Structure 1
């Protein structure tokens, strides 16, 4: 009797709300139970989420919200925070894109921030034209204060019994009427090179007069050699110097044209000419003495400026081949930004050496250091703007750096026609 009470009647097929199976006993695996409960469609929250409708907890009970654990709540909060962060990132990217579009350039490529150098290209071009024209006018009006290497004069090798100061020797010569003397050390402070403007005396008379003028208190001078440099030799040196500058510029033009591209070569040569003419113009404007040491500084400056320009050109060529979807102006800005750190470190170290020579090198290296200092500033500026803006104005593009296939290496398309294809049955 107790067993019969535990067996449910056959006509009780209505599932209870708490049942999760197909029959009254809630067991979906019972083959004798043929009743099925209609499954409700899963609910969606509008964002594609189907967690509530498909979770086993929801199917088994209607109180899934009460049974949600603290981890689920934390997951939802984290998801909301990530969505908020993604929204703000999207808004920031949109703002950066809008600002970049307003400036006519790009703010960044990947993680690389871009400095819009070419944004002030036109003002810098006007400044360069003003500097070049001003230098040419200064050279034409004032002329250069040529040293003894170009005008001729007298040079003498002197040896003192004790170390002598250059200032004392120059003062002693000025007291005896030998003005505008140039004194340089030859290895030690006891051996000096004296250079004077052209003198009317003969070699024998110069030996006697210079011997009296060069004697210092308690320090006797001995003249070992006296040379008189004529004006004809100075003119030859002047012509050879001009030819050396011209040959250097033409050599640079040919090298860059073969190594990179003619548009870049023209920009590099104009940049080098700008550096040389601005340095010479400053010497003409202020009347600084211009001798062979200054000419050597200008030639060294041409080599240094070209080296800095070649580094920029190499990065421009690489970015034209590597980066797609941006304008040539943006390619130039990207290349200059990537080489900016190298340029700053290089110019800083070189300027330290130049300043050390200027302040501690004495009279023999002073004007050489001044010429280098002026040229380094002009060269850094020209490598950034003149050498890069001129090729851009000439229409520099990616096609200038893409290797094109020659016609003799192009593949020929050959079509074989089968005669049987045209035969009719």
Structure 2
């Protein structure tokens, strides 16, 4: 199945400056949001306790807040969780400040608010949260380094720089959206960001692979035209892959429940931004980095010549002539 005719070449490079301008605006806006509003770290990273409560009737959120005001949990955050009957109480502070029987304590404190059951209690100390945050950032950094090394080895350093800049573009905009909509950042969000990295680099590698293939097989010497041909040839595949993935993530977002809303929201933004960057940004950066078709072909010819000489020497050695 193809959405676009294989012989149709779209002029992506002719419109590269407006797309680069749009991406620059989105990235700068995301950075400003991250610095001004910041990320809403969940207990996985900030430490604290989450208590999920399900009432038999509509949860009396105002009454819960009033009841907790006179206790040591006065600074707790109470939000609706999925349905009108369920709420989540987020309590900041170290685990040493909290009793081990917090479930029983909450039962006594909230007894006057109606009939309910406590469905979940999650507790993370600030030290553990700090370690999780540190290891999460380390995992993100190592992923980028490994991808940079892989693309440099498989292609050429300009391809690697372009792909990493594309990934940084995608992650920055995704984090900006997370901060803008006040999505709670926990281990699920970290998993979504790492998934986004893999998804985006996969799309980018496919485009770069087609560019490299066309450089070796085509007589075209104009980089912009060659990129237009390569991106156009992979456009149908990119669109189909993105749409099928998008449908799954939309299903998770609307029907997966509150507990995975943050994960699916991050993937939703990431798929849209990642697809956009693999088509309009990653290959465009090759032009900005002054990639030379002539130099690349010369290097590939030298590699091929060296390989043939090694094969010739090996054959001579096996025949006993050297």
Taking structure 1 as the reference length, the TM-score comes to 0.60
2:3 corresponds to which residue? none
User: Is the 8 Å Cα contact of residues 144 and 287 (structure 1) preserved in structure 2?
Assistant: yes
1:403 corresponds to which residue? 301
Q: Does 1:211 align with 2:103?
A: no
Deviation at 1:210, TM superposition (A): 2.0
1:420 corresponds to which residue? none
Deviation at 1:265, TM superposition (A): 0.9
User: Is the 8 Å Cα contact of residues 354 and 369 (structure 1) preserved in structure 2?
Assistant: yes
1:253 corresponds to which residue? 148
Give the distance between the partners of 2:151 and 2:57, measured in 1 at CA.
44
Q: Does 1:265 align with 2:163?
A: no
Structure 1 residues 84-95: aligned runs within 5 Å: none
RMSD, aligned α-carbons: 3.5
Deviation at 1:333, TM superposition (A): 0.3
Deviations 1:90-115 (A, max 9, x none): xxxxxxxxxxxxxxxxxxxxx82211
Look up the SS of the partner of 2:301 in the other structure.
Answer: coil
Deviation at 1:123, TM superposition (A): 1.4
Structure 1 residues 298-313: aligned runs within 5 Å: 298-313=193-208
Q: Does 1:198 align with 2:96?
A: no
Look up the SS of the partner of 1:380 in the other structure.
Answer: helix
| Unmatched 5+ stretches in structure 2 | 1-5, 313-322
Deviation at 1:168, TM superposition (A): 4.8
User: Is the 8 Å Cα contact of residues 270 and 386 (structure 1) preserved in structure 2?
Assistant: no
Q: Does 1:324 align with 2:222?
A: no
Look up the SS of the partner of 1:368 in the other structure.
Answer: helix
Q: Does 1:358 align with 2:256?
A: no
Structure 1 residues 2-401: aligned runs within 5 Å: 112-155=7-50, 168=59, 176-177=67-68, 179-180=76-77, 196-198=90-92, 202-204=98-100, 206-212=102-108, 220-221=117-118, 228-393=123-288, 394-401=290-297
Greater radius of gyration (CA): 1
User: Is the 8 Å Cα contact of residues 145 and 290 (structure 1) preserved in structure 2?
Assistant: yes
Deviation at 1:146, TM superposition (A): 1.1
User: Is the 8 Å Cα contact of residues 132 and 277 (structure 1) preserved in structure 2?
Assistant: yes
Once the two structures are overlaid, the 10-residue window that deviates more, 369-378 or 400-409, is 400-409
User: Is the 8 Å Cα contact of residues 47 and 93 (structure 2) preserved in structure 1?
Assistant: no
Deviations 1:386-413 (A, max 9, x none): 21011223223154153312499499xx
User: Is the 8 Å Cα contact of residues 50 and 122 (structure 2) preserved in structure 1?
Assistant: yes
CA change 1:202–1:144 in 2 (3 A) is closer
Deviations 1:65-121 (A, max 9, x none): xxxxxxxxxxxxxxxxxxxxxxxxxxxxxxxxxxxxxxxxxxxxxx82211110111
Give the distance between the partners of 1:372 and 1:244, measured in 2 at CA.
18
Deviation at 1:196, TM superposition (A): 2.5
| Unmatched 5+ stretches in structure 1 | 1-110, 186-191, 412-425
Deviation at 1:271, TM superposition (A): 0.3
Give the distance between the partners of 1:320 and 1:166, measured in 2 at CA.
66
Taking structure 2 as the reference length, the TM-score comes to 0.77
CA change 1:166–1:243 in 2 (3 A) is farther
The aligned length equals 291
Higher helix share: 2
Give the distance between the partners of 1:303 and 1:181, measured in 2 at CA.
35
Deviation at 1:282, TM superposition (A): 1.9
Once the two structures are overlaid, the 10-residue window that deviates more, 132-141 or 284-293, is 284-293
